[in-house]
Amino acid sequence: MNENLKAYIDLTRAHFLPAWPFIFCSGLFLAFGNYGGFSWPLTLKVALIGIFGFEAGFVLNDYVDRNRDRLDVENTLTNYWRPFKERPIPSGKISSKNAFWLFILLAGITSTLIFTLPYPNSLYVFVIMLYSYGIEAFYQVKKRDQKYPIAQLLGRTDFTLFPAAGYLCYGQPDMTMLLYMVFFYPWTMAHLGLNDFIDLENDRARGMNSISVLYGLKGTMYWITGFTVLHFLAAIFFLKELGVIAQYGFLVGFVILAGANLYLWKEQSTVAGLKILPLFHGTLVIYAVSIILDFFY
The predicted pLDDT at position 258 comes to 98
The CA–CA distances, whole Å, from 116 to 46, 49, 120, 192 equal 10, 11, 11, 33
Give the distance from CA 11 to its chain's centroid.
15
pLDDT, the chain, mean? 96
User: 8-17 pLDDT, tens per residue?
Assistant: 999 999 999 9
Element housing 126 (H / E):
helix 121-142
User: 19-47 pLDDT, tens per residue?
Assistant: 999 999 999 999 999 999 999 999 999 99
User: 131-171 pLDDT, tens per residue?
Assistant: 999 999 999 999 999 999 999 999 999 999 999 999 999 99
User: 77-136 pLDDT, tens per residue?
Assistant: 999 999 999 999 999 999 999 999 999 999 999 999 999 999 999 999 999 999 999 999
User: 249-285 pLDDT, tens per residue?
Assistant: 999 999 999 999 999 999 999 999 999 999 999 999 9
DSSP codes, 200-219: HHHHHHHT---HHHHHHHHH
Dist. CA 173–CA 83, nearest whole Å: 37
Q: Which domains does the chain have, with CATH numbers?
A: 3-296 (1.10.600)
The predicted pLDDT at position 1 comes to 66
